[in-house]
Amino acid sequence: MSNTIVTTDKSSPAFGPFSQAVMKDGFLHTSGLMPFLPRSGDLVSNDLEEQMHQCMRNMKAVLTATEMTMDDLILVTIYTTDMQEFARINTIYGSYFEGTVYPSRAAVGITALAKGARVELVAIAKK
C-alpha cells in the first residue's frame, strides 16, 4: 500500500522537504507539529503556554483532516527546550483529552528547535 500525503491549511505549513503527515496502512505519522500559525507559518508567540496550545491545535487539525480524533492517538512525543517547564506543558497537554485514557507518550529535553520554538510534538495515530 502506498503512502498518502496529508495536508491541511488548518495546521502549520511544512517549511521544508517534508509533509505535514503521512498515512500508511491505516497509521497516521505526523511530522513535527510546531507552534506556528496556520497559513502564515509564523511563531504564535514566545510564550510557552501559547506555543503548547498552538501545537495541540495543529495536532487536532491534522487528525481532523484524516477524520481522526484525539482518541485515535497511539503515541505522542513532546520535545521541549526547557524540561523545567514540563509541569506547565503536561497540564496543557492533559487538558486536550477527555477522561483518563491517554496515548503513550515520551518527553524529550533538547537544546533548540526550528525558528526559535520552545516545544514540538510528533504523533502516531490509527483509526
Q: 108 — phi, psi (to 5°)?
A: -130, 130
The grid coordinates of residue 38 equal 496556520
For position 55, what pLDDT does the model report? 98
Is-contact 118 36, C-beta < 8 A? no
The grid coordinates of residue 4 equal 498518502
For position 32, what pLDDT does the model report? 96
Confidence of residue 15 (pLDDT cuts 50, 70, 90): confident
Is-contact 73 66, C-beta < 8 A? no
- Taking 80 as the threshold, does the pLDDT of residue 1 lie above it? no
For position 99, what pLDDT does the model report? 81
pLDDT tens for 50-67 read 999 999 999 999 999 999
pLDDT > 70: percent of the chain:
99
Nearest CA-CA partner of 56 in 9, 95, 6, 19: 95
Report, as an integer, the average pLDDT of 22-30.
97
For position 24, what pLDDT does the model report? 96
Q: In which residue are the cell numbers 507552534 written?
A: 35
- The CATH number for 18's domain is 3.30.1330.40
Q: How many domains does the chain have?
A: 1
Q: In which residue are the cell numbers 495536532 written?
A: 59
The domain in which residue 71 lies consists of 4-126
The grid coordinates of residue 80 equal 521541549
Average pLDDT score, the chain: 95
Q: 74 — phi, psi (to 5°)?
A: -105, -45
